[in-house]
Structure 1
Amino acid sequence: MDKLTRTVIVDGSIVYTDSSEILSSAGFEKLLLEYIEILKERNSPLLRALEAFRVGDEYHIRHIVEYIHLLTLRNVRDITTIINYVNPEDFAKFIESFYTFWRNKHRFMIKRENYTTDPARRTSIVFTAAMVAEEFKNLIRNLYRTVMKNITVDDSSVIVRQLPSGAQVTFLVDNLNVEKPRLTKFKSIPTIWGAIFDPPVIFYTKSNKRKGVLPVVDEPVIERIKLENSTDDWYHVPILVGDLLMFVYVHKEFLCHAAGLGNLFQFADLKSIKEKEVCGVLIFGLKPEEIPDFKPSWKNGVIFNEGEFYVGIIPAIDENDYFGYMKKTILTLHNLYRIDQGKLPIHGSMARIVLKNGKSAVAMFVGDSGAGKSETLDALNRLEEVAYVDVIIDDMGCLDILNGRVVAYGTETGAFVRLDDLPPGYAYYTMDRSIFMNPDKINARVIVPFNNYKDIITPTPIDFFFYANNYTEVKEDSERIIFFDSVEEAIKVFSAGKRMSKGTTSEEGMTESYFANPFGAVQRQEVHHRIAGQFLTKMFETGVRVGEIRTMLGVEGYEKEGTQLAARALLKLIEKVK
């Protein structure tokens, strides 16, 4: 195990079969030493349990470990004559607190396995890795239970709690050594090609809001970047964002965000890595002093234009320790590349809504975080008249024109959802496959998979194109959805990008963001505006209904009811579809 301030990495190549192997590991001693140092800083009364092991101002770590090992073999009453007296009650509190300290770490197992294209062999590798992780978890749990049983002399409790104790995520890692132009220097960084989650997966990060807009610097940087402290400090995660290949390099202290990628994007297979060109690179967790010509305005991230692709860098500072920076930087890389292609990236949601009477429509909602996009779709899905809502895009998509029609495709197979705006119980419904981020705080989030990769990259013609207005209070049902009469009227509303902030970013009150898309559109506003005009014109020409849906999510008193009323208004429109 490799000790960090909050991340613990367990070597998955070691099969632990006995608790003594854990106790004798260097990682266990490091963890114990770190915990004792924290107790000393706090002048904690828990240190009373360790007086017998005190030497001056320090504590003899090796002797403490040996004592714990004795407690796996014998009852505390049998060993008090061997060493100086240790108060069982005090030591039980210490062990309980130490166990909690371990469980509060971000715990990862890294298992190095050769990537194989053989599906049967891959399944076998995953199964074996899952067995190793399960065995490790059971050993940790049994070690804790055995020690506590032998300390607690008069415990008559028969309540047993199966607390999560092992690795929260097991990563399958290999050195693929795939040559990519201008990225050769990074090829020795180990590649994460698979992940096994042990739910519930909960991470507590140092920040839970995203700030600012990523500046774009139109000059290359990749040749000046060094990730050479140690190849063991960094991990490479190849992902598909829509059908674009991107390489993400994550420092091990931020592996919780690499885990989030597994629930949000499609991991790229070896065929895609070899055949596709890299369209974007993200380096997450580079120290500011290691970023060439670092400027204070880059503290929340910066993007460089390499010509063939874009490079995003998120500095390793506490306020960037939020999955939103990982997700939004990747999507900004995607959007910049799409704009260069002449396509229109859209910050919004899209779904195929199918009614029980057989009628259906594809609706796209444009809006920034907290506009009510996902909430309106969820409200639709709860209506009795609705058969199902097939979410194709949850946050970012792209418009294209195929065979004379405007079509859309998505970027993500999962959703980074704000729990506060979802119906009660949703978080618990998805607990067995979700990653929770800071569930005890405002803007608590869950990363949950919602669709398969094939569906999100299939071009889908759209019927309705709405701006999600969360700030206008309306009383009449006829005003919940309005349609624009011209391209000029539509582009004025979409360009303004007005929204009542819901606390998902650092903004408060009424805000404006060009096209509700600070992720590429605002950085390339002139080019984007021309492309947007072309697409809206095509929509009006081909019968796509362009308008505004009033969700009232930002109107006090309508936070829940507003999206339900908007959903019912949209239902009535779909019922009229021929």
Structure 2
Amino acid sequence: MGRSVIIDGSIVYTDSSEILSNPGFEKLLREYIDFLKEKNSPLLRTLEAFRIGEEYNVRHFIEYLHLLTLRDVKEITTIINYVNPEDLAKFIESFYSFWRNKHRFMIKRESYTIDNARKTSIVFTATMIAEEFKNLVRNLYRTIMKNIEPDNSNIVRQLPSGAQVTFLVDSFDCNDERFCNFSNIPMVWGAIFDPPVIFYTRSNKRKGVLPVVERNVLSDLKLPNKEKDWYLIPILVADLLMFVYVNKEFLSHAAGLGNLFQFANIMDLKKKEVSGALIFGLPVENIPDYQEKWKNGVIFKDQGLYIGVIPALDENDYFGYMKKTLLTMHNLIRIDQGKLPVHGSMARIVLKNGKSAVAMFVGDSGAGKSETLDALNRLEEVAYVDVIIDDMGSLDIVNGKVVAYGTETGAFVRLDDLPPGYAYYTMDRSIFMNPDKINARVIVPFNNYKEVITPTPIDFFLYANNYTEVKNDEDRIVFFDNLDDAIQVFSAGKRMSKGTTSEEGMTESYFANPFGAVQRKEEHHKIAEIFLKKMFETGVRVGEIRTMLGVEGYEKEGTYLAAKALYKIVERM
């Protein structure tokens, strides 16, 4: 069955017998029994009455569960094989947990519509079906447990037990002949989340830099069992239309896209040309001329179209590969356009006295960009901080001014670096990834698409230095006097690793941007010089902000002190 469970959203489940008689239930039970066999678990004692040789009569056991929904276990033992009630209770409890540990998705096929009333009706119906299924699963568990051992407790826990995400899908016939190999793949056009949404993936770090290979590959790519095992999610990365093809085993990452990017609508699909495509979870044997150095992903440039491929390996089971491959393709396209991609965050900072400024922070993962903005937002003197870019944006020159626009409507944030309680404050909207591990992440929406892609003039362009320890407030932010000094600092891209990737200690990454800038270093450098020169000419203050996020003992206080220093500068404007 695998880790992901697909629930048919076209069925309205009204009775527990519909669940027990569903082939998916039998498949799940057989997988659970195999799991117990591998562990040589004592829970297998429960099934001794149903043993036939070396195997178990699973269908007979399901019939037994049917009876348990109607009668007390003591009554059943008089008409069917004896099962120890204590062992049975432990077995059912463990089986229920096994189910809840799966990644659970409901797929409801519905024709996409631009009619808002019709769309509202579709969403309402899908929500109702998912809710009915969740309640039915929960009640089935409770009924069986009650008939095994009556529970006198007055405490009832409404544990999440249905679909974590419901996807609305439609058939999609792409008019772009370049994608003829990928026809008949169901297209996701909407998603309904049932929070808290928590996924546990096999990996928790991103490795390496994605190589870019110029090769005509699209016609050679084949998705195995594409109609059943694959889904297409069309998204907008900034204003670029990208197709994301996801194997069902990695649907948790497809769910993450819903909190991070804008889903493309039918008008986008008709008006926009596809700028890039990502295939996530492709078996190695299906990657043409596969090389070991591509094991953490590769981007092909096929006649101007960028195609990202992430192999179906356990070490790639991390949302960072989904996000960074899409952003790398975005950045490569921007470089081709003569624009400057920036790995950083940007916000409009508005003080209570009415003064405001737009600041962009440049830095790699763990540099303290998002954390500094959060610290600013918590300062008493600050009215609000409007985050426009969280992780990746682009610079352009419009009417002689340097402007910026973002790519994402959400943030993929490292829990360890957030203030205590922040993640729980957004729990009803967030997707949690491996919350019990180092580099635990949360994907949370933060802004609307229109504001993110609107070109915004910037006032500050600051490199986020997380490794320099400073004692004096005046040294927390320093500004460059000339272009050469600025280029040197930004190009070096130094940072103290925070464990968000496989790197450790002091690292360097060209322009703090291994997502396109490194792969197109020569072209990128020429563009960077043009933009930084324009900033000096037009009064944009270019400098360095010392967040101290990588300095031992200052992990929390450092970003607060940096935020306080920036506030004072804005206040003096």
The normalised TM-score by structure 2 is 0.99
Which residue among 234, 237, 244 is the counterpart of 2:240?
244
Whether contact under 8 Å (2:181, 2:221) holds in the other structure is no
Cross-structure match for 1:138: 135
Cross-structure match for 2:512: 516
Q: How many Å apart are 1:178 and its aligned residue?
A: 2.7
Q: Distance in 2 between matches of 1:181 and 1:514?
A: 37
Q: Distance in 2 between matches of 1:409 and 1:291?
A: 34
Which residue among 418, 437, 441 is the counterpart of 2:437?
441
Q: Distance in 2 between matches of 1:6 and 1:512?
A: 37
Which residue among 106, 114, 117 is the counterpart of 1:117?
114
Query: Which runs of 5 or more residues in structure 1 are unaligned?
Result: none
Which residue among 5, 13, 27 is the counterpart of 1:30?
27
Cross-structure match for 1:498: 494
Cross-structure match for 1:151: 148
Cross-structure match for 1:232: 228
Cross-structure match for 1:507: 503
Cross-structure match for 2:291: 295
Equivalent position SS for 1:568: helix
Cross-structure match for 1:428: 424
1:229-255 Cα offsets, whole Å, 9 max, x none, are 241111000000001000000001100
Cross-structure match for 2:83: 86
Cross-structure match for 2:357: 361
Q: Distance in 2 between matches of 1:390 and 1:558?
A: 25
Question: 1:124/1:61 Cα in 2 relative to 1: closer, same or farther (>3 Å)?
Answer: same
Q: Distance in 1 between matches of 2:304 and 2:510?
A: 26
Most deviating of 238-247 and 41-50: 41-50
Most deviating of 223-232 and 88-97: 223-232
Q: Distance in 1 between matches of 2:257 and 2:183?
A: 20
Cross-structure match for 1:162: 158
Q: Distance in 2 between matches of 1:424 and 1:84?
A: 53
Q: How many Å apart are 1:228 and its aligned residue?
A: 4.1
Which residue among 304, 307, 331 is the counterpart of 2:303?
307
Which residue among 271, 276, 279 is the counterpart of 1:280?
276
Counterpart residue identity of residue 69, structure 1: H
Equivalent position SS for 1:182: helix
Equivalent position SS for 1:423: coil
Whether contact under 8 Å (2:182, 2:226) holds in the other structure is no
Q: Distance in 2 between matches of 1:220 and 1:358?
A: 55
Which residue among 295, 303, 319 is the counterpart of 2:315?
319
Q: How many Å apart are 1:102 and its aligned residue?
A: 0.1
Query: What pairs with 1:253-268 in structure 2 (closer than 5 Å)?
Result: 253-268=249-264
Does residue 349 in structure 1 map to residue 345 in structure 2?
yes
Does residue 102 in structure 1 map to residue 130 in structure 2?
no
Most deviating of 357-366 and 78-87: 78-87
1:330-375 Cα offsets, whole Å, 9 max, x none, are 0000000000000000000000000000000000000000000000
1:32-69 Cα offsets, whole Å, 9 max, x none, are 00000110111101111111111111111001100111
Does residue 73 in structure 1 map to residue 70 in structure 2?
yes
Q: How many Å apart are 1:295 and its aligned residue?
A: 0.3
Q: Distance in 2 between matches of 1:28 and 1:464?
A: 58
Q: How many Å apart are 1:181 and its aligned residue?
A: 3.7
Equivalent position SS for 1:208: coil
Q: Distance in 2 between matches of 1:249 and 1:7?
A: 16
Counterpart residue identity of residue 174, structure 1: D
Q: Distance in 2 between matches of 1:50 and 1:158?
A: 31
1:492-544 Cα offsets, whole Å, 9 max, x none, are 00000000000000000000000000000000000000000000000000000
Equivalent position SS for 2:428: helix
Counterpart residue identity of residue 100, structure 2: R
Q: Distance in 2 between matches of 1:375 and 1:513?
A: 20
Cross-structure match for 1:7: 4
Cross-structure match for 2:529: 533
Cross-structure match for 2:49: 52
Cross-structure match for 1:41: 38
Q: Distance in 2 between matches of 1:267 and 1:187?
A: 19
Cross-structure match for 1:551: 547
Q: Distance in 2 between matches of 1:108 and 1:195?
A: 10
Most deviating of 178-187 and 491-500: 178-187
Does residue 185 in structure 1 map to residue 181 in structure 2?
yes
Whether contact under 8 Å (1:178, 1:274) holds in the other structure is no
Query: Which runs of 5 or more residues in structure 2 are unaligned?
Result: none
Whether contact under 8 Å (2:133, 2:162) holds in the other structure is yes
Q: Distance in 2 between matches of 1:411 and 1:307?
A: 24
Equivalent position SS for 2:469: coil
Which residue among 191, 197, 220 is the counterpart of 1:195?
191
Counterpart residue identity of residue 546, structure 2: R
Whether contact under 8 Å (1:179, 1:187) holds in the other structure is no
Most deviating of 388-397 and 155-164: 155-164
Q: Distance in 2 between matches of 1:41 and 1:551?
A: 49
Q: Distance in 1 between matches of 2:258 and 2:94?
A: 31
Query: What pairs with 1:319-338 in structure 2 (closer than 5 Å)?
Result: 319-338=315-334
Question: 1:41/1:228 Cα in 2 relative to 1: closer, same or farther (>3 Å)?
Answer: closer
Q: How many Å apart are 1:454 and its aligned residue?
A: 0.5
Equivalent position SS for 2:137: helix
Equivalent position SS for 1:371: coil
Equivalent position SS for 2:308: strand
Q: How many Å apart are 1:197 and its aligned residue?
A: 0.2
Cross-structure match for 2:168: 172
Q: Distance in 1 between matches of 2:175 and 2:86?
A: 59
Q: Distance in 2 between matches of 1:213 and 1:147?
A: 51
Number of residues of Structure 1 aligned to a counterpart in Structure 2: 573
Equivalent position SS for 2:502: coil
Counterpart residue identity of residue 467, structure 2: Y
Q: Distance in 2 between matches of 1:162 and 1:234?
A: 32
Counterpart residue identity of residue 16, structure 1: Y
Whether contact under 8 Å (1:191, 1:235) holds in the other structure is yes
Aligned alpha-carbon RMSD (Å): 0.7
Q: How many Å apart are 1:176 and its aligned residue?
A: 2.2
Q: Distance in 2 between matches of 1:448 and 1:230?
A: 30
Q: Distance in 1 between matches of 2:460 and 2:242?
A: 31
Does residue 479 in structure 1 map to residue 475 in structure 2?
yes
Counterpart residue identity of residue 206, structure 2: R
Q: Distance in 1 between matches of 2:215 and 2:3?
A: 35
Q: Distance in 1 between matches of 2:60 and 2:518?
A: 61
Q: How many Å apart are 1:184 and its aligned residue?
A: 2.4
Which residue among 207, 219, 222 is the counterpart of 2:218?
222
Q: How many Å apart are 1:573 and its aligned residue?
A: 0.4
Equivalent position SS for 1:227: coil
Most deviating of 45-54 and 432-441: 45-54
